[in-house]
Chain A
Amino acid sequence: MNRIKSVEELNRLRDEIRASRDPNKRCITVCGDTGCRAAGSLDLADKLRAEMKQQGVEGEIEMKVCGCHGFCQQAPVVAVEPEGIFYRHVGHKNPERDAKAVIDGTRDNETVERLLYRDPKTKKRIKHYRDIPYYAMQTKRVLDNTGKIDPNKIEEYIAADGYAALAKVLSLDPGDVVDEIKKADLRGRGGGGFPTGIKWGFCREADDQTMRYIICNADEGDPGAFMDRSIIEGDPHSVLEGMIIGAYAISHRVCPAQGYIYIRAEYPLAVQKLRKAIEQAEELGLLGDNILGSDFNFHIKIKQGAGAFVCGEETALIASIEGKRGMPRSRPPFPAVSGLFGKPTNINNVETWATVPRIMKRGADWFTEVGTEKSKGTKIFSLVGKISNSGLIEVPMGMPLRTIVEEIGGGVPDGRTFKAVQTGGPSGGCIPAELLDLPVDYEHLKEAGSMMGSGGMVVMDDYSCMVDVARYFLSFTESESCGKCVPCRMGTQHLLNMLTDICHGHGTPSDIERLRNISDAVAKGSLCGLGQTAPNPVITTLRYFEDEYRAHVEDRDCPAGVCRDLVMYEIEPENCTGCGVCQLNCPTLAIAGEKKEPHIIDSALCIRCGACRDSCKFEAVFTHVHENTPDDQSIVSRT
């Protein structure tokens, strides 16, 4: 394609692309996101392509590999457009057979019944994804392209009104662009929730008039979160377009600007998609010098992270791009005044950047239609853990947690009961069942002791031990603490040691008060966001699940049966049908028993992994307090 030199040329190109397409031509979209890939979607795409070739239907049916369809639980996922037929677990067992069935069905305008989603409540098959509760309850405003367009092709993005916002922005005064974002009340989607427009304004008005750095924070380090990865893998151009608009608003007619995308090295596919998108945008003159024939120049470079969670913090991220140890520094000066290489710098996360072109295209009023008074728009969450429908969802701000967990997520599987949902990653907290009616927005989550974070939601059931969960997060923050400030370095270590002791049965009742005190000191005394929020998992679990802590320190019991030094597994002969499933799943061959006779667990061989309990359909496996309380030899913390 040739370089586009004006807005008119872009519009003409869009019209041409649209005219060359038959809107009624059926298109099979295969999810090519990391999740579905792991389930074999690329192999399936090959099989579909081969089948189309063999049947000679390549002219009638189109097939493309897209970004995340969102319903990762059902991977690999395939949709047939324009009808919107949803097939799941396609090629799970036999890719060739399923590929043939999908092509046959699409060709003959028939539906492949056996590949349709079955509603677990009504047991009925559902044909269209818009009728599946998981999709019906969502509002896809930022993920509108993800899963629909081929992320490798810029023409698909352009045809879907891509770069139209940029074309509009180039005719506006940069100050008006900042004002529109302020009016939309867009708040940072990376965790803090700081108003984006105000941040842009600070950076634009900074005194230094030599350079502006515009950074996209794609260092999505929260364990249990993959929103940013999915946006980049499914709709990379929207992130670029947002950054170009941001650069225009912040730097145009002030000074030159340079863009950076700081992305985790653990996301190789996302890096590849971004590289390709940048190349294509540059080729078309949508990025680089004289964008769309204007006098505005902007370039974007990719910087890959090297595995340090703390680099999600702005000043640490800047240090990392500069080639230093990724350690944060105290603020002020804020990056808006003195950031990368000492120049005014604006950093926003992936989802924020991807939201920008949508606001500029449709206006602030469109954006504020949904959401709550102080949290506007929609938010993307990765809904994972002990939940029936896990995947990527986008919902209006303020949706009750119950709707997300029970209706979209389909509740907790395997007949277990919901215990808590963890939001905000290692900086967030656990929200208990009694707060399920909490509206999900920045304020309410904070009030409950947690935070929005970047949008990870990990659901836990009654087989999840909350002390173990707190210990898990602290082991994460303790190892990711950069070590610069004492409260974080020492505090997280002490918290972790105490929690480890409690999990091993060496806790004392006084530990509970001590955990609270140390948590308080770490939150107040730490230099950056990592340390200030690191105690949140401890504080919230203590607030809502103190009884579980008490069971550990007073009775040496782990009610969830997770802390292995405290419990023993046993089979209730009354409930055991002798089906042998537990025996098959036991990794240490600790279960013995004849068919149709109650089985027995040999506690000497049992490693208390819980595989038997998870696999038992008859609730025959249970845990109880370990007969021998752990001796006091292996205490870690009191040294």
Chain B
Amino acid sequence: MPAIEVEPQFETLLSGYEKDRSNLIPILQDVQEHEGYLSEDAIVEVADHLELSPNDVFGVASFYTLFKFVPPGRCNIKVCQGTACHVRGSGLIMEELSKKLGIRSGETTEDREFSLESVACYGSCALAPVVIVDEKVHSRMTSKSACELVEESE
């Protein structure tokens, strides 16, 4: 069977890692940091580098919520769903943002402007509920103020 031909776009990145399985998650994190997500090509190439099957690599990647398989939007919105945020109404914030953007958690809008995610706990519980827009934490949100945040980011 002929070897699968892939573009050597990650060659420099991969060359920094030894062919050791324990490097798999750090490599995937590195690829995602550069590409924004894990494409099918990337998974095949990483598998190739570590001499693992692409299935094996995808199996590991899909286990962890950090890894994304669709390109992210220009603006990334995370809604914390930690306990403190939950009792202070984060579920509703997620619902309203989801309605406003027309996407569910984990999805990106068609025009690739926004992606919406939920995070388990951001550790800023004293400021609950928090919404994180492009890594900036916004504290004591309501569904109204969260929607206004989105409007500002448009």
Binding site for B on A (CB under 8 A): 34-35, 37-39, 72-73, 75, 220-226, 229, 265-268, 303-309, 320-327, 382, 384-386, 390-391, 422, 425, 456, 458, 460, 464, 469, 472-473, 476, 480, 482, 585, 587, 607, 609-611
**B123–A220 CB distance below 8 A:** yes
Question: Taking the nearest CB of chain B, how far is it from the CB of A473, in angstroms?
Answer: 8
B124–A308 CB distance below 8 A: no
Q: Are A229 and B144 in contact (CB under 8 A)?
A: no
- The reply to whether A224 and B65 contact each other, CB–CB distance below 8 Å, is no
A309 to B21, CA, bound (A): 22
Interface size on B, residues (CB 8 A): 46
Partner of A307, one of B120, B124, B128: B120
CB <8 Å contact, A390 and B124:
no
Q: Tell me the smallest distance from the CB of A336 to a CB of chain B, in Å.
A: 20
Q: How far is the CA of A305 from the CA of B81 in the complex (A)?
A: 19
In whole angstroms, how far apart are the Cα atoms of A108 and B137 in the complex?
Answer: 35
| B125 CB within 8 Å of chain A | yes
Residues of B within 8 A of A220 (CB): 123
Give the complex CA separation of A222 and B144 in angstroms: 28
Known: A306-B67, A472-B86. A390 touches B126 (CB 8 A): yes
Least CB distance, B14 to chain A, in whole angstroms: 14
B82 within 8 A of A: yes
For A322, give its contact among B22, B81, B88, B127 (CB under 8 Å). Answer: B22
Which one of A307, A382, A425, A607 lies within 8 Å of B64 (CB-CB)?
A: A307
Closest 5 CB pairs of A and B: A72-B126, A306-B64, A224-B83, A38-B137, A223-B82
- The contact string, 1 if C-beta is below 8 Å from chain A, for chain B 7-45, is 000000000000011111110110000000000000000
The A-B contact count (CB < 8 A) is 149
Cβ-closest chain B residue relative to A74:
B126
A-B contact pairs, 7 of them (CB 8 A): A268-B135, A303-B25, A308-B63, A460-B87, A476-B120, A587-B142, A587-B143
A residues within 8 A CB of B84?
223-224, 384-385, 390, 458
Could you tell me the distance in whole angstroms from the C-beta of A600 to the nearest C-beta in chain B? 20
B26 proximity list for chain A (CB < 8 A) = 303-304
Q: Which residues of B contact A35 (CB under 8 A)?
A: 124, 126-127
Which residues on A sit within 8 Å (CB–CB) of B120? 221, 223, 266, 307, 309, 476, 480
Within B114-133, the residues touching A (CB, 8 Å) are 119-128, 130
Known A456-B83, A609-B143; contact A75-B121, beta-carbon cutoff 8 A: no
A233 CB, nearest partner CB in chain B, Å: 10
Choose one: A34, A306, A422; the contact of B29 (CB below 8 Å): A306
B70 contacts the other chain (CB 8 A):
no
Nearest CB in chain B: distance from A89 CB, A: 12
Are A422 and B83 in contact (CB-based, < 8 A)? yes
Looking at A384, A386, A390, A422, the one whose CB has the most chain B CB atoms below 10 A away is: A384
Is there contact, CB below 8 Å, between A321 and B22? yes
Contact A609 B126, CB 8 Å, known A224-B83, A307-B65: no
* A480 cross-chain contacts in B, Cβ below 8 A: 120
Flag if B137 contacts A34 (CB, 8 Å). yes
Q: How far is the CA of A34 from the CA of B128 in the complex (A)?
A: 13
Using a CB–CB cutoff of 8 Å, the interface residues on chain B facing chain A are: 20-26, 28-29, 59-60, 63-67, 81-89, 92, 96, 119-128, 130, 135, 137-139, 142-144, 147
User: Which of A222, A321, A391, A587 meets B121, CB within 8 Å?
Assistant: A222
Chain A's closest residue to B128 (CB) is: A384
Q: Which residues of B contact A460 (CB under 8 A)?
A: 87
Which partner residue on chain A sits nearest B28 by CB separation? A306
- Contact partner of A226 among B85, B96, B125, B144, CB < 8 A? B125
Contact check, A390 vs B123: say whether CB atoms are below 8 A apart: no
Q: Max chain B CB contacts within 10 Å: which of A223, A303, A587?
A: A223
- Residues of chain B within 8 A (CB-CB) of A72 are 124, 126-127
In the complex, the answer to whether A425 meets B125 with C-beta atoms within 8 Å is: no
- Cα separation A569 to B13 with both chains bound (whole Å): 57
From A325, which residue of chain B is reached at the shortest CB distance? B63
Closest to B22 in A: A323
A222 and B82 alpha carbons, distance in the complex (Å): 8
Nearest neighbor of B27 in chain A, beta-carbon distance:
A323
B130 to chain A: which residues have CB within 8 Å? 38
Chain A residue contacts of B92, Cβ below 8 A: 607, 609
Question: Complex: how many Å from CA A248 to CA B24?
Answer: 30
CA of A386 to CA of B85 in the docked complex: distance in angstroms? 10
Q: Which residues of A contact B23 (CB under 8 A)?
A: 323
A233–B92 Cα distance when bound, in Å, is 31
Whether the pair B125, A323 counts as a contact (CB closer than 8 A) is: no
Q: Quick one: which of A222, A224, A325 has the most chain B CB within 10 A? A: A224
A473 nearest CB neighbor, chain B only: B83
Give the one of B120, B137, B143 with max A CB within 10 A.
B120
A226 to B, closest residue via Cβ:
B123
In the complex the two chains form, is A587's CB within 8 Å of B127's CB? no
Contact of A325 among B60, B81, B83 (CB under 8 A): B60
Report the Cα distance A78→B75, complex, angstroms. Answer: 32
Q: A38-B139, A609-B89 are in contact. Are A390 and B64 (CB under 8 A)?
A: no
User: What A residues does B67 contact at CB under 8 A?
Assistant: 306
Chain B, Cβ-Cβ closest to A476:
B120
Across-interface contacts of A324 in B (CB, < 8 A): 21, 60
Q: Is the CB of B64 within 8 A of A611?
A: no
Q: B123 to A34, Cβ gap below 8 A? A: yes
